[in-house]
């Protein structure tokens, strides 16, 4: 993969190929002992972005094992031994970040990582002075030492898989959940909770922008823990997840030590990336949405879908044609065909094909979860409800078939959930979506839902929830966790870009 002209070059290619079948990887080094690893996120032949990490390489001597364990930073310790000598190498990592594959953004983000790792290198050098060890940047070491490092045959796999998914599917790999910085109290005490306490969360009250702030904050919390997050984006509000926030001062005010970060994100668009799979469609809910629930066509539709798998609405029509003269009259069959032809014509190709739940909901990167944004902003509310139900039911079916494990396999985020739970559009789909959400927990799927008011949630969802975030004013919230006394907190800023929220929320911590 051709590399843009980033700083601290020239960069020499150490490796350019693929690991674990589906991911292209490139590894580069410069003359200052810095290694750049890129794992590319591709859609077809187009590169959408890449997860990037920098490593600074040191030649080290002394008892390093206990020293490394004492540092709160990401380090790799490699030892190379033969009959003549034992060499130790210390690799200081910048931590992974996601970059949209555009020249200006790649250059800007790599510059930030270079600055970060240079600062960390200086800190490392200062800390080692207090120990009986020494570290020397590899480019300053003897030629034989440098050659010994770069000639290690396992070097590339180690660096490339340090944050890459395992051989098995990411949904089957346990997620290592971290503590989550919620924000500050008015007395400026930091509020930290295990992110898993928010595995069934309702966000309510406040403005739409304020609720979005909480959703994006929780989304980041799960992504940082390595969990994939599926966002049903109704208004195209989550695109900022791709980009690090520029509000550095806001982060400092909330005592956030983490660097701004953009996350691995793929946007799924109706028709091109996601479909309404007719095999997974509730025929009665479908009929309610499209206005023929009180006709014989519902029975015809149900009979045709249940008899065999179909590739889409066109094949469904062909099968229905074969029903004429049997238990259904020719008039009823033809009426059903006309309805389906009209639906298919109004939504070209949306009902033709299936969805890859594995692609939508499984982890691609070991240290960071990937955000799958289902962009439903461009379709009407009725079709949107059918599509959302379709994908939610497929998620439940997919994870029901997986081996049970502790923790969550993925998390679903739905802003303005009442839109997808609208009984006026379809009582059947509304009830079934509520049922799916309550079944998620038993199958390793969490959810975060928002609405304008608690009254907008079905009572079963309210009773099933374990965390509630209720906005009082701006980012001042009441947090209620199951079995715990409620508390107030000023929600912290997001690490990724959230310009709309930052414009509307001017938090006062003083």
Q: Which of 132, 164, 196 is the last residue of a domain?
A: 164
Asked if residue 177 belongs to a domain, the reply is: no
Q: CA-CA distance, 263 to 479, in Å (whole number)?
A: 26
Distance of CA 157 to the CA centre of its chain: 24
pLDDT tens-digit profile of 237-283? 998 888 888 888 888 899 887 778 888 888 999 999 999 999 888 88
Tell me what pLDDT residue 422 has. 92
Q: Give the CATH number of the domain where residue 213 resides.
A: 3.40.50.300
Q: What is the CA radius of gyration of the chain?
A: 26
Helix axes 313-321, 330-346, angle to 10 degrees: 170
Q: Is 166 left (phi over 0), alpha (psi -120 to 50) or beta?
A: beta
Asked if residue 179 belongs to a domain, the reply is: no
pLDDT tens-digit profile of 109-150? 898 888 888 878 887 777 777 677 888 888 888 888 888 888
pLDDT, average across residues 34-54: 84
Asked if residue 88 belongs to a domain, the reply is: yes
Note whether 285 and 191 are same-domain residues: no
* DSSP string across 384-399: HHHHHHHHHHHHHHHH
Which band of pLDDT confidence, cut at 50, 70 and 90, is reported for residue 382? Answer: very high
Prior bond to 86 cis, omega within 30?
no
Q: CA-CA distance, 366 to 23, in Å (whole number)?
A: 13
pLDDT, average across residues 332-357: 91
Phi–psi pair at 191, nearest 5 degrees: -105, 115
Q: How many independent structural domains does the chain possess? A: 3
Tell me what pLDDT residue 166 has. 37
CA atoms within 13 A on the CB side of 371: 31
Residues 6+ apart with CB under 8 A from 119: none
Structural contact between residues 87 and 80, judged by C-beta atoms closer than 8 angstroms: yes
Which band of pLDDT confidence, cut at 50, 70 and 90, is reported for residue 161? Answer: low
pLDDT, average across residues 222-241: 90
Q: Which of 108, 132, 164 is the last residue of a domain?
A: 164
pLDDT tens-digit profile of 247-257? 888 888 998 87
At 299 the three-state DSSP class reads: helix
Q: CA-CA distance, 430 to 288, in Å (whole number)?
A: 11
Structural contact between residues 263 and 227, judged by C-beta atoms closer than 8 angstroms: no
The residues facing 204 across adjacent strands are: 451, 470
Note whether 376 and 231 are same-domain residues: yes
Asked if residue 398 belongs to a domain, the reply is: yes
Asked if residue 332 belongs to a domain, the reply is: yes
Tell me what pLDDT residue 436 has. 93
pLDDT tens-digit profile of 469-499? 999 999 999 999 998 999 999 999 999 988 5
Note whether 45 and 102 are same-domain residues: yes
Which band of pLDDT confidence, cut at 50, 70 and 90, is reported for residue 367? Answer: low
Tell me what pLDDT residue 349 has. 92
Asked if residue 328 belongs to a domain, the reply is: yes
Which band of pLDDT confidence, cut at 50, 70 and 90, is reported for residue 180? Answer: confident
Note whether 263 and 374 are same-domain residues: yes
Note whether 57 and 102 are same-domain residues: yes
Asked if residue 295 belongs to a domain, the reply is: yes
Report the 3 state secondary structure along 294-336: CCCHHHHHHHHHHHCCCCEHHHHHHHHHCCECCCECHHHHHHH
Lowest-confidence range among 363-377, 429-443, 450-464? 363-377
Note whether 437 and 496 are same-domain residues: yes
The residues facing 312 across adjacent strands are: 352
Residues 6+ apart with CB under 8 A from 303: 323
Asked if residue 176 belongs to a domain, the reply is: no
**Mean of pLDDT over the chain:** 84
Tell me what pLDDT residue 104 has. 87
Q: What are the distances in angstroms from CA 382 to CA 300, 311, 422, 437?
A: 21, 22, 9, 20
Q: CA-CA distance, 488 to 477, in Å (whole number)?
A: 6
Note whether 264 and 298 are same-domain residues: no
Tell me what pLDDT residue 158 has. 65
Tell me what pLDDT residue 358 has. 87
Note whether 198 and 261 are same-domain residues: yes
Note whether 321 and 450 are same-domain residues: no
Note whether 370 and 427 are same-domain residues: yes
pLDDT tens-digit profile of 289-320? 999 988 888 888 888 887 778 888 999 998 88
Q: CA-CA distance, 115 to 433, in Å (whole number)?
A: 47
Q: Which domain holds residue 462?
A: 184-274+356-504
Q: In sequence order, which ranges of 41-137 are alpha helices (DSSP H)?
A: 64-70, 103-128
Residue with tokens 């922008």: 209
Residues 6+ apart with CB under 8 A from 53: 36, 37, 93, 94, 95, 96, 97, 113, 162, 163
CA atoms within 13 A on the CB side of 374: 29
Residues 6+ apart with CB under 8 A from 21: none
Note whether 283 and 269 are same-domain residues: no
Note whether 136 and 188 are same-domain residues: no
Question: Which one is predicted more confidently, 375 or 49?
Answer: 375
Q: CA-CA distance, 378 to 387, in Å (whole number)?
A: 12
pLDDT above 50: residue 169: no
Q: Which of 323, 346, 369 is the last residue of a domain?
A: 346
Tell me what pLDDT residue 165 has. 39
Tell me what pLDDT residue 499 has. 53
């Amino acid at each position: 993969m051709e590399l843009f002209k980033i700083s601290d070059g020239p960069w020499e290619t150490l490796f350019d190929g693929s690991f674990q079948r589906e991911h292209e990887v490139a590894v580069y080094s410069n003359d200052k002992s810095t290694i750049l690893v890129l794992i590319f996120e591709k859609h077809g032949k187009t590169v959408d972005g890449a997860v990037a990490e920098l490593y600074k390489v040191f030649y080290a001597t002394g008892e390093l094992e206990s020293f490394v364990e004492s540092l709160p930073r990401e380090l790799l310790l490699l030892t190379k031994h033969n009959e003549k000598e034992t060499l130790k190498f210390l690799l200081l990592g910048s931590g992974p970040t996601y970059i949209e594959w555009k020249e200006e953004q790649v250059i800007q983000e790599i510059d930030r990582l270079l600055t970060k790792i240079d600062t960390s290198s200086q800190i490392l050098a200062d800390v080692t002075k207090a120990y009986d060890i020494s570290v020397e940047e590899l480019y300053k070491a003897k030629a034989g030492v440098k050659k010994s490092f770069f000639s290690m045959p396992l070097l590339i796999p180690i660096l490339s898989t340090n944050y890459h998914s395992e051989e098995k599917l990411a949904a089957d790999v346990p997620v290592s959940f971290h503590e989550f910085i919620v924000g500050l109290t008015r007395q400026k005490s930091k509020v930290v909770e295990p992110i898993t306490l928010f595995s069934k969360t309702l966000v309510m009250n406040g403005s739409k922008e304020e609720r979005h702030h909480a959703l994006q904050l929780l989304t980041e919390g799960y992504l940082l823990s390595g969990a994939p997050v599926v966002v049903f984006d109704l208004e195209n509000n989550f695109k900022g997840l791709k980009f690090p926030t520029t509000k550095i001062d806001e982060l400092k005010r909330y005592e956030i030590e983490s660097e701004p970060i953009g996350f691995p994100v793929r946007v799924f668009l109706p028709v091109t990336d996601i479909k309404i799979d007719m095999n997974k469609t509730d025929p009665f809910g479908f009929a309610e949405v499209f206005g023929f629930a009180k006709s014989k066509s519902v029975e015809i539709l149900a009979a045709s879908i249940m008899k065999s798998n179909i590739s889409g609405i066109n094949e469904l029509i062909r099968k229905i044609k074969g029903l004429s003269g049997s238990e259904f009259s020719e008039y009823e069959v033809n009426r059903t065909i006309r309805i389906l032809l009209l639906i298919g014509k109004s939504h070209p190709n949306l009902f033709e094909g299936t969805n890859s739940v594995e692609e939508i909901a499984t982890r691609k990167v070991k240290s960071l979860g990937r955000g799958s944004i289902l962009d439903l902003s461009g379709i009407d509310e009725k079709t949107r409800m059918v599509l959302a139900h379709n994908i939610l039911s497929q998620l439940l079916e997919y994870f029901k078939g997986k081996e049970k494990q502790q923790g969550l396999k993925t998390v679903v985020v739905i802003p303005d959930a009442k839109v997808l739970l609208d009984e006026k559009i379809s009582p059947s789909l509304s009830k079934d979506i509520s049922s799916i959400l309550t079944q998620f927990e038993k199958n390793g799927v969490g959810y975060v839902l928002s609405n304008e008011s608690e009254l907008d949630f079905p009572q079963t969802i309210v009773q099933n929830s374990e965390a509630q975030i209720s906005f009082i004013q701006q980012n001042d919230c009441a947090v209620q966790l199951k079995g715990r006394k409620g508390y107030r907190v000023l929600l912290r800023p997001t690490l990724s870009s959230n310009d709309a929220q930052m414009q509307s929320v001017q938090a006062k911590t003083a």
